[in-house]
């Protein structure tokens, strides 16, 4: 998605009025994959890269694409020394280009979309995954009352959101099969109504993290789904990668050992040490099922858009074809003993 030239010059003029001098001769370059909020690399008059992130054009789903929320999260975490790009300026005045946008610092490092990070040694991979786990533990350790974020502090995040995802995808014209319905009806009763609340990233995975030359997490990106909720939401979304077969989306599956990747149990232990709390395995099992149903619903949503002719992503069909494999993983996770959900 390219940026409209007229809009870009309006952005530059507005930024200049707010003490940010952008080089007009450097036309923005698209960065990132699959982001719903278009993101561009820009450059200031001192030849320093910055990142411009904005709402997409057109009609927006209510409550979606809240770049103002992203900016507030980045500011709160940056002020507390957490590893995020430093936010610079937010424009929430839609009269400038018709939608909100913000500018943040560019963080230079590596982003890996291959869970096996094949170009790295086993020791380097171990460091990367250890840092990934510990960074998530640090995030969840923040006292949400100290963050001063205007988010609702309601319990039952997983239960509310699972029902929302399920109802959006499955309806009178697109009914789920009996297996999926059985799992949903069962697990919705087991998801918590109370418990600890943390700041959630909402899409925590390796390709949303910048890695430095020492194989440590340098910055966590893409906070558009952030909210307050049960920390199990984030940790389970990462843990299911060890349940998903390699070659399917971000699956690690049973190939973790021969590929030099730490085990799921090791990743969890690093997270627990950083978070300074032990994870209840039955609760984690339920959270993993929550994340698998959510992922299945996302894939079915992509399939629906393909059928309606509204899928614009280059890899939409590839993702949609992963739905049967994710269903198999989901059904297996639902049937196993909770203590066996994490592969040692």
Higher-confidence residue of 179 and 342: namely: 179
Which two structure tokens, joined as six digits, stand for 270?
């690093």
Minimum mean pLDDT range among 60-74, 164-178, 305-319 = 305-319
Looking at the structure of the chain, the number of domains it has is: 2
Rounded Cα–Cα distance for residues 308 and 193 (Å): 36
Query: Do 226 and 334 sit in the same domain of this protein?
Result: yes
In a domain, 123, yes or no: no
In a domain, 323, yes or no: yes
CA distances from 184 to 28, 157, 162, 176 (A): 44, 15, 9, 10
In a domain, 171, yes or no: yes
Is the per-residue pLDDT at 59 higher than 70?
A: no
pLDDT confidence of residue 311: 53
- Of the three residues 80, 105, 130, the one that is the final residue of a domain is 105
pLDDT confidence of residue 63: 54
Q: Which pLDDT tens digit goes with each residue over 3-32?
A: 888 888 899 999 989 988 999 889 889 887
pLDDT confidence of residue 30: 87
In a domain, 137, yes or no: no
Going by pLDDT thresholds of 50, 70 and 90, the confidence category of residue 339 is low
Q: Which pLDDT tens digit goes with each residue over 166-200?
A: 887 777 567 777 888 899 889 898 888 888 899 99
Query: Do 166 and 280 sit in the same domain of this protein?
Result: yes
Query: Do 53 and 183 sit in the same domain of this protein?
Result: no
DSSP category for residue 156:
-
In a domain, 138, yes or no: no
Q: Which pLDDT tens digit goes with each residue over 256-270?
A: 999 999 999 999 999
Rounded Cα–Cα distance for residues 259 and 115 (Å): 10
In a domain, 118, yes or no: no
49 close to 40: Cβ distance less than 8 angstroms: no
Query: Do 101 and 150 sit in the same domain of this protein?
Result: no
Rounded Cα–Cα distance for residues 309 and 305 (Å): 6
φ, ψ for residue 164 (rounded to 5)? -65, -50
Query: Do 161 and 88 sit in the same domain of this protein?
Result: no
Rounded Cα–Cα distance for residues 55 and 279 (Å): 37
In a domain, 114, yes or no: no
Query: Do 87 and 150 sit in the same domain of this protein?
Result: no
Q: Looking at residue 289, which CATH number applies to its domain?
A: 3.90.1200.10
CA distances from 76 to 70, 72, 84, 204, 327 (A): 10, 6, 10, 18, 38
Q: What is the pTM of this model?
A: 0.90
In a domain, 127, yes or no: no
Is the per-residue pLDDT at 327 higher than 60?
A: yes
Rounded Cα–Cα distance for residues 341 and 332 (Å): 9
261 close to 116: Cβ distance less than 8 angstroms: yes
Is the per-residue pLDDT at 62 higher than 80?
A: no
Q: Looking at residue 17, which CATH number applies to its domain?
A: 3.30.200.20
CA distances from 118 to 111, 113, 123, 253 (A): 13, 11, 12, 15
Q: Which pLDDT tens digit goes with each residue over 270-304?
A: 999 999 999 988 889 899 999 999 899 888 877 87
Cα of 314 vs its chain's centroid, Å: 19
Q: What percent of the chain stands above pLDDT 90?
A: 55
Domain that residue 253 falls in: 146-340
Contacts of 197 (CB under 8 A, 6+ apart): 144, 153, 155, 157, 228, 229, 230
């Amino acid at each position: 998605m390219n940026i409209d030239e007229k809009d870009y010059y309006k952005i530059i003029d507005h930024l200049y009025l707010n003490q940010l001098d952008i080089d007009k001769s450097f036309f923005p370059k698209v960065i990132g994959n699959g982001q719903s909020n278009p993101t561009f690399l820009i450059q200031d008059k001192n030849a320093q890269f910055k990142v411009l992130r904005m709402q997409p054009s057109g009609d927006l789903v209510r409550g979606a694409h809240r770049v103002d929320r992203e900016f507030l999260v980045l500011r709160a975490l940056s002020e507390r020394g957490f590893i995020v790009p430093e936010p610079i300026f937010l424009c929430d005045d839609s009269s400038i280009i018709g939608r909100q946008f913000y500018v943040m610092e560019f963080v230079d490092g590596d982003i890996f979309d291959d869970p096996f990070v094949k170009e790295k040694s086993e020791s380097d991979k171990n460091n990367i995954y250890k840092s990934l786990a510990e960074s998530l533990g640090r995030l969840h350790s923040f006292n949400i009352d100290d963050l001063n974020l205007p988010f609702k502090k309601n319990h039952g995040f997983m239960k509310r959101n699972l029902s929302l995802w399920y109802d959006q995808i499955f309806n009178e014209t697109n009914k789920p099969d009996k297996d999926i319905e059985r799992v949903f009806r069962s697990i919705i009763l087991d998801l918590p109504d109370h418990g600890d609340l943390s700041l959630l990233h909402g899409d925590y995975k390796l390709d949303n993290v910048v890695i430095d030359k020492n194989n440590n997490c340098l910055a966590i990106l893409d906070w558009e789904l952030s909210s307050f909720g049960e920390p199990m939401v984030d940790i389970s979304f990462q843990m299911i990668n060890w349940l998903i077969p390699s070659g399917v989306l971000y699956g690690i599956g049973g190939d973790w050992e021969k590929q030099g990747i730490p085990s799921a149990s090791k990743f969890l232990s690093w997270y627990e040490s950083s978070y300074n709390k032990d994870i209840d395995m039955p609760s984690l099992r339920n959270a993993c099922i929550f994340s698998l149903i959510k992922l299945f619903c996302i894939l079915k949503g992509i399939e629906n858009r393909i059928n309606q002719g509204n899928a614009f992503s280059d890899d939409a069909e590839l993702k949609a074809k992963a739905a049967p494999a994710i269903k198999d993983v989901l059904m297996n996770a639902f049937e196993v003993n909770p203590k066996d959900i994490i592969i040692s």
